[in-house]
Copies of this chain bind each other. A is one copy, B any other.
Amino acid sequence: MTEFRQDPFTRDWVIIATERARRPGQLPPTRARAPVAPHSADCPFCPGNESATTAPVYERREGATWRVRAIPNKYPALRVEDSTERKIEEGRFIGMGGLGAHEVVIESPSHNLSLDALPEAQVCEVVNALLARFHDLRRDVRLKTIIIFKNAGTVAGATLEHPHCQLIATPVVPPEIRRKYVVAAQYHDEMGRNLYRAVVEDEIKAGRRMVMETEHFVALQPWASRVPFETWIFPRAVQSSFGHLHGPAVADFAATLKRVLAGIVRAVGHANYNFVVHTAPFEDEHKEYFLWHLAIMPHHSIPAGFELGTGIYINVARPEETAAYLRDLVK
Protein backbone atom coordinates (compact mmCIF):
# COMPACT_ATOMS: atom_id res chain seq x y z
CA MET A 1 0.00 0.00 0.00
CA THR A 2 1.23 3.39 -1.00
CA GLU A 3 -0.35 6.70 -0.10
CA PHE A 4 0.18 10.43 -0.29
CA ARG A 5 -0.10 12.45 2.92
CA GLN A 6 -0.10 16.23 3.16
CA ASP A 7 1.94 17.90 5.89
CA PRO A 8 -0.56 20.29 7.51
CA PHE A 9 2.24 22.73 8.44
CA THR A 10 3.94 23.14 5.05
CA ARG A 11 1.23 21.72 2.72
CA ASP A 12 3.98 19.59 1.16
CA TRP A 13 3.24 15.98 0.33
CA VAL A 14 5.07 12.88 1.43
CA ILE A 15 4.68 9.42 -0.05
CA ILE A 16 4.30 6.56 2.43
CA ALA A 17 5.45 3.46 0.53
CA THR A 18 5.94 0.65 3.01
CA GLU A 19 6.66 -2.00 0.36
CA ARG A 20 9.83 -0.18 -0.61
CA ALA A 21 11.29 -1.22 2.75
CA ARG A 22 11.65 -4.69 1.22
CA ARG A 23 14.00 -3.51 -1.53
CA PRO A 24 17.22 -5.48 -1.49
CA GLY A 25 20.06 -3.61 0.18
CA GLN A 26 17.79 -0.72 1.06
CA LEU A 27 17.72 -0.70 4.86
CA PRO A 28 20.97 0.63 6.26
CA PRO A 29 22.87 -2.12 8.03
CA THR A 30 22.34 -2.04 11.77
CA ARG A 31 25.70 -0.73 12.76
CA ALA A 32 26.76 -1.55 16.26
CA ARG A 33 28.28 1.65 17.56
CA ALA A 34 32.04 1.18 17.36
CA PRO A 35 33.28 1.52 20.91
CA VAL A 36 34.48 5.10 21.39
CA ALA A 37 36.80 6.05 24.21
CA PRO A 38 35.52 8.64 26.74
CA HIS A 39 38.50 10.88 25.96
CA SER A 40 40.46 11.53 22.79
CA ALA A 41 43.84 13.22 22.88
CA ASP A 42 43.30 14.64 19.36
CA CYS A 43 39.83 16.04 19.98
CA PRO A 44 39.64 19.85 20.23
CA PHE A 45 36.47 19.53 22.33
CA CYS A 46 37.95 17.18 24.96
CA PRO A 47 39.19 18.50 28.34
CA GLY A 48 42.85 19.45 28.21
CA ASN A 49 42.61 20.66 24.62
CA GLU A 50 40.70 23.87 25.36
CA SER A 51 43.41 25.94 23.68
CA ALA A 52 42.53 24.29 20.35
CA THR A 53 39.15 26.04 20.26
CA THR A 54 38.16 29.68 20.09
CA ALA A 55 37.54 31.37 23.46
CA PRO A 56 34.25 30.27 25.04
CA VAL A 57 31.22 32.59 24.96
CA TYR A 58 29.59 30.48 27.68
CA GLU A 59 31.04 28.08 30.20
CA ARG A 60 29.59 26.34 33.25
CA ARG A 61 32.33 25.31 35.63
CA GLU A 62 32.27 22.92 38.54
CA GLY A 63 35.40 23.05 40.60
CA ALA A 64 38.44 22.75 38.37
CA THR A 65 36.63 21.51 35.30
CA TRP A 66 33.84 22.69 32.97
CA ARG A 67 30.52 20.92 32.51
CA VAL A 68 29.39 22.54 29.27
CA ARG A 69 30.96 25.10 26.92
CA ALA A 70 29.78 27.22 24.01
CA ILE A 71 32.33 28.49 21.50
CA PRO A 72 32.19 30.33 18.17
CA ASN A 73 32.61 27.84 15.30
CA LYS A 74 36.20 27.94 14.10
CA TYR A 75 35.03 27.62 10.48
CA PRO A 76 31.83 29.66 10.66
CA ALA A 77 29.19 29.70 7.94
CA LEU A 78 28.37 33.30 9.03
CA ARG A 79 30.07 36.01 11.13
CA VAL A 80 28.92 39.10 13.02
CA GLU A 81 31.40 41.38 11.19
CA ASP A 82 29.39 41.92 8.02
CA SER A 83 26.38 43.76 6.64
CA THR A 84 22.91 42.86 5.42
CA GLU A 85 22.90 45.44 2.67
CA ARG A 86 21.69 43.83 -0.54
CA LYS A 87 24.06 44.06 -3.49
CA ILE A 88 22.88 43.64 -7.07
CA GLU A 89 25.61 41.69 -8.85
CA GLU A 90 26.03 41.68 -12.61
CA GLY A 91 22.83 43.71 -12.93
CA ARG A 92 20.57 40.86 -11.87
CA PHE A 93 21.68 38.63 -9.02
CA ILE A 94 20.98 39.50 -5.40
CA GLY A 95 23.69 38.91 -2.82
CA MET A 96 24.72 40.19 0.60
CA GLY A 97 27.45 39.78 3.16
CA GLY A 98 27.62 36.73 5.38
CA LEU A 99 26.31 38.42 8.51
CA GLY A 100 25.26 36.12 11.30
CA ALA A 101 26.70 33.91 13.99
CA HIS A 102 27.69 30.27 14.19
CA GLU A 103 28.35 28.68 17.57
CA VAL A 104 28.93 25.21 18.94
CA VAL A 105 27.73 23.89 22.30
CA ILE A 106 29.99 21.10 23.58
CA GLU A 107 27.56 18.90 25.45
CA SER A 108 29.90 17.59 28.15
CA PRO A 109 33.57 16.70 28.73
CA SER A 110 32.74 13.15 27.65
CA HIS A 111 33.89 12.25 24.14
CA ASN A 112 31.55 9.27 23.85
CA LEU A 113 28.24 10.19 25.52
CA SER A 114 25.60 12.25 23.78
CA LEU A 115 22.17 13.54 24.81
CA ASP A 116 20.58 10.09 24.69
CA ALA A 117 23.12 8.69 27.18
CA LEU A 118 24.13 11.63 29.41
CA PRO A 119 22.52 12.00 32.87
CA GLU A 120 19.36 14.13 32.83
CA ALA A 121 21.08 16.86 34.83
CA GLN A 122 23.77 17.14 32.15
CA VAL A 123 21.18 17.31 29.32
CA CYS A 124 19.64 20.12 31.35
CA GLU A 125 23.01 21.90 31.35
CA VAL A 126 23.04 21.66 27.55
CA VAL A 127 19.51 23.07 27.25
CA ASN A 128 20.46 25.92 29.58
CA ALA A 129 23.55 26.64 27.48
CA LEU A 130 21.43 26.72 24.31
CA LEU A 131 18.95 29.07 26.01
CA ALA A 132 21.71 31.37 27.25
CA ARG A 133 23.28 31.60 23.79
CA PHE A 134 19.84 32.05 22.19
CA HIS A 135 19.05 34.99 24.48
CA ASP A 136 22.46 36.58 23.96
CA LEU A 137 22.49 36.29 20.15
CA ARG A 138 18.87 37.46 20.02
CA ARG A 139 19.98 40.89 21.27
CA ASP A 140 21.60 41.66 17.90
CA VAL A 141 18.81 43.56 16.14
CA ARG A 142 20.24 42.73 12.71
CA LEU A 143 19.41 39.05 13.16
CA LYS A 144 16.03 37.53 12.30
CA THR A 145 16.16 34.07 13.82
CA ILE A 146 18.37 31.36 15.31
CA ILE A 147 18.46 27.78 14.12
CA ILE A 148 19.47 25.31 16.81
CA PHE A 149 20.40 21.92 15.43
CA LYS A 150 22.42 18.78 16.01
CA ASN A 151 24.04 16.43 13.53
CA ALA A 152 24.77 13.20 15.40
CA GLY A 153 27.03 10.65 13.74
CA THR A 154 29.18 11.12 10.67
CA VAL A 155 26.58 9.62 8.32
CA ALA A 156 24.17 12.32 9.50
CA GLY A 157 26.68 15.07 8.74
CA ALA A 158 28.71 15.48 11.95
CA THR A 159 32.30 16.47 11.18
CA LEU A 160 33.59 16.13 14.76
CA GLU A 161 32.87 13.06 16.86
CA HIS A 162 32.69 14.77 20.26
CA PRO A 163 28.95 15.31 20.88
CA HIS A 164 27.88 18.89 20.20
CA CYS A 165 24.91 21.02 19.15
CA GLN A 166 25.09 24.10 16.93
CA LEU A 167 23.41 27.49 16.67
CA ILE A 168 23.34 29.55 13.48
CA ALA A 169 21.77 33.01 13.62
CA THR A 170 20.68 34.39 10.23
CA PRO A 171 19.89 37.93 9.03
CA VAL A 172 17.04 36.63 6.83
CA VAL A 173 14.07 34.47 7.73
CA PRO A 174 15.04 31.14 6.09
CA PRO A 175 12.61 29.98 3.39
CA GLU A 176 11.49 26.82 5.23
CA ILE A 177 10.64 28.85 8.33
CA ARG A 178 8.87 31.54 6.30
CA ARG A 179 6.78 28.91 4.54
CA LYS A 180 5.71 27.26 7.80
CA TYR A 181 4.98 30.64 9.31
CA VAL A 182 2.82 31.76 6.38
CA VAL A 183 0.71 28.60 6.60
CA ALA A 184 0.30 29.06 10.38
CA ALA A 185 -0.75 32.71 10.01
CA GLN A 186 -3.22 31.85 7.23
CA TYR A 187 -4.75 29.11 9.38
CA HIS A 188 -5.13 31.52 12.25
CA ASP A 189 -6.74 34.08 9.94
CA GLU A 190 -9.23 31.45 8.79
CA MET A 191 -9.91 29.45 11.94
CA GLY A 192 -9.00 31.84 14.77
CA ARG A 193 -6.78 29.13 16.30
CA ASN A 194 -3.15 28.13 16.53
CA LEU A 195 -2.62 25.39 13.91
CA TYR A 196 0.08 23.62 15.91
CA ARG A 197 -1.97 23.51 19.09
CA ALA A 198 -4.99 22.30 17.14
CA VAL A 199 -2.96 19.43 15.65
CA VAL A 200 -1.35 18.53 18.99
CA GLU A 201 -4.75 18.45 20.72
CA ASP A 202 -6.14 16.21 17.98
CA GLU A 203 -3.11 13.93 18.19
CA ILE A 204 -3.47 13.55 21.95
CA LYS A 205 -7.11 12.55 21.45
CA ALA A 206 -6.35 10.15 18.59
CA GLY A 207 -3.31 8.67 20.34
CA ARG A 208 -2.14 6.68 17.30
CA ARG A 209 0.98 8.72 16.66
CA MET A 210 1.73 9.69 20.26
CA VAL A 211 5.10 8.79 21.74
CA MET A 212 4.98 10.25 25.27
CA GLU A 213 3.52 13.04 27.38
CA THR A 214 4.94 14.86 30.38
CA GLU A 215 3.65 17.74 32.48
CA HIS A 216 5.00 20.32 30.02
CA PHE A 217 5.70 18.41 26.78
CA VAL A 218 4.18 16.18 24.15
CA ALA A 219 6.23 13.94 21.81
CA LEU A 220 4.58 12.53 18.71
CA GLN A 221 5.32 11.34 15.20
CA PRO A 222 3.85 13.58 12.52
CA TRP A 223 1.06 12.44 10.16
CA ALA A 224 3.33 13.22 7.19
CA SER A 225 6.58 11.80 8.62
CA ARG A 226 9.44 12.09 6.13
CA VAL A 227 11.61 9.28 7.51
CA PRO A 228 10.92 6.28 9.77
CA PHE A 229 10.77 7.31 13.44
CA GLU A 230 10.70 11.07 12.74
CA THR A 231 9.54 12.50 16.10
CA TRP A 232 8.60 16.02 17.20
CA ILE A 233 8.51 17.45 20.73
CA PHE A 234 6.05 20.29 21.43
CA PRO A 235 5.50 22.38 24.59
CA ARG A 236 2.00 22.30 26.04
CA ALA A 237 2.28 26.02 26.84
CA VAL A 238 1.48 28.63 24.18
CA GLN A 239 5.07 29.45 23.28
CA SER A 240 5.98 30.62 19.81
CA SER A 241 9.70 30.81 20.58
CA PHE A 242 12.27 28.47 22.07
CA GLY A 243 13.36 31.54 24.03
CA HIS A 244 10.11 31.34 26.03
CA LEU A 245 11.21 28.06 27.62
CA HIS A 246 11.89 28.70 31.32
CA GLY A 247 11.37 27.51 34.89
CA PRO A 248 10.60 23.87 35.70
CA ALA A 249 9.79 23.20 32.03
CA VAL A 250 13.53 23.32 31.23
CA ALA A 251 14.32 20.16 33.21
CA ASP A 252 11.16 18.53 31.87
CA PHE A 253 12.22 19.33 28.29
CA ALA A 254 15.71 17.93 28.90
CA ALA A 255 14.26 14.70 30.37
CA THR A 256 11.81 14.33 27.47
CA LEU A 257 14.50 14.92 24.86
CA LYS A 258 16.79 12.37 26.49
CA ARG A 259 14.09 9.69 26.71
CA VAL A 260 12.91 10.20 23.13
CA LEU A 261 16.45 10.19 21.71
CA ALA A 262 17.38 7.09 23.72
CA GLY A 263 14.25 5.34 22.43
CA ILE A 264 14.97 6.29 18.81
CA VAL A 265 18.60 5.16 19.05
CA ARG A 266 17.41 1.78 20.36
CA ALA A 267 14.63 1.52 17.78
CA VAL A 268 16.73 2.25 14.69
CA GLY A 269 19.88 0.55 15.99
CA HIS A 270 22.27 3.46 15.45
CA ALA A 271 22.91 6.97 16.80
CA ASN A 272 22.91 8.88 13.51
CA TYR A 273 20.25 11.54 13.47
CA ASN A 274 19.58 15.24 12.96
CA PHE A 275 17.41 17.46 15.07
CA VAL A 276 16.30 21.03 14.49
CA VAL A 277 14.46 23.47 16.73
CA HIS A 278 11.76 25.33 14.81
CA THR A 279 11.01 28.69 16.39
CA ALA A 280 9.13 31.81 15.29
CA PRO A 281 11.23 34.62 13.76
CA PHE A 282 12.18 37.14 16.48
CA GLU A 283 9.87 39.80 15.08
CA ASP A 284 6.88 37.42 15.29
CA GLU A 285 7.56 35.93 18.72
CA HIS A 286 4.77 37.97 20.33
CA LYS A 287 2.10 36.56 18.01
CA GLU A 288 0.06 33.49 18.84
CA TYR A 289 0.33 31.73 15.45
CA PHE A 290 3.25 29.41 16.00
CA LEU A 291 4.38 26.79 18.50
CA TRP A 292 8.11 26.08 18.78
CA HIS A 293 9.10 22.45 18.49
CA LEU A 294 12.11 20.19 18.17
CA ALA A 295 12.03 17.82 15.17
CA ILE A 296 14.21 14.69 15.22
CA MET A 297 14.96 12.89 11.96
CA PRO A 298 16.91 9.64 12.37
CA HIS A 299 19.25 9.08 9.45
CA HIS A 300 17.66 6.59 7.08
CA SER A 301 18.64 6.91 3.44
CA ILE A 302 20.11 9.89 1.66
CA PRO A 303 17.60 12.34 0.18
CA ALA A 304 18.39 11.78 -3.49
CA GLY A 305 17.32 12.98 -6.95
CA PHE A 306 13.58 12.68 -6.44
CA GLU A 307 13.51 14.49 -3.08
CA LEU A 308 15.91 17.17 -4.34
CA GLY A 309 13.83 17.84 -7.43
CA THR A 310 10.36 17.68 -5.92
CA GLY A 311 10.54 18.37 -2.18
CA ILE A 312 8.51 15.15 -1.74
CA TYR A 313 10.01 12.60 0.66
CA ILE A 314 9.35 8.88 0.27
CA ASN A 315 8.98 7.23 3.68
CA VAL A 316 9.05 3.44 3.90
CA ALA A 317 7.33 3.31 7.30
CA ARG A 318 3.93 4.35 8.61
CA PRO A 319 4.19 6.65 11.66
CA GLU A 320 1.26 4.87 13.34
CA GLU A 321 3.41 1.72 13.47
CA THR A 322 6.73 3.30 14.40
CA ALA A 323 5.05 5.47 17.07
CA ALA A 324 3.52 2.39 18.70
CA TYR A 325 6.94 0.75 18.75
CA LEU A 326 8.66 3.81 20.20
CA ARG A 327 5.87 4.30 22.77
CA ASP A 328 6.79 0.95 24.31
CA LEU A 329 10.50 1.75 24.33
CA VAL A 330 10.19 5.09 26.15
CA LYS A 331 7.89 3.77 28.88
Binds B, one of A7-15, A64-72, A123-131, A239-247: A7-15
Find residues 297-331 in chain A having any chain B CB closer than 8 Å to their own CB. Answer: 297, 301-306, 308-312, 314
List the B side residues contacting A12 at CB < 8 Å. 175
Find residues 82-133 in chain A having any chain B CB closer than 8 Å to their own CB. Answer: 82, 89-98
- Determine the distance from Cα of A172 to Cα of B277 in the docked complex, in whole angstroms: 29
B310 contacts A96, C-beta separation under 8 Å: no
B275 contacts A176, C-beta separation under 8 Å: no
Report the minimum CB–CB distance from A85 to chain B (whole Å).
11
Q: A23-B75, A202-B90, A302-B155 are in contact. Are A175 and B13 (CB under 8 A)?
A: yes
List the B side residues contacting A199 at CB < 8 Å. 92
Binds B, one of A33-41, A146-154, A256-264: A146-154
Report the minimum CB–CB distance from A317 to chain B (whole Å).
14
Closest to A96 in B: B4
B206 contacts A310, C-beta separation under 8 Å: no
Residue A310 contacts which of B1, B10, B23, B170 (CB distance < 8 angstroms)? Answer: B170
What is the interface of chain A, defined by CB distance below 8 A to chain B? Answer: 1-6, 8, 10-13, 15-17, 19-20, 22-26, 74-79, 82, 89-98, 147, 149-151, 155-160, 166, 168, 170-172, 174-177, 179, 198-199, 202, 206, 223-224, 274-278, 295, 297, 301-306, 308-312, 314
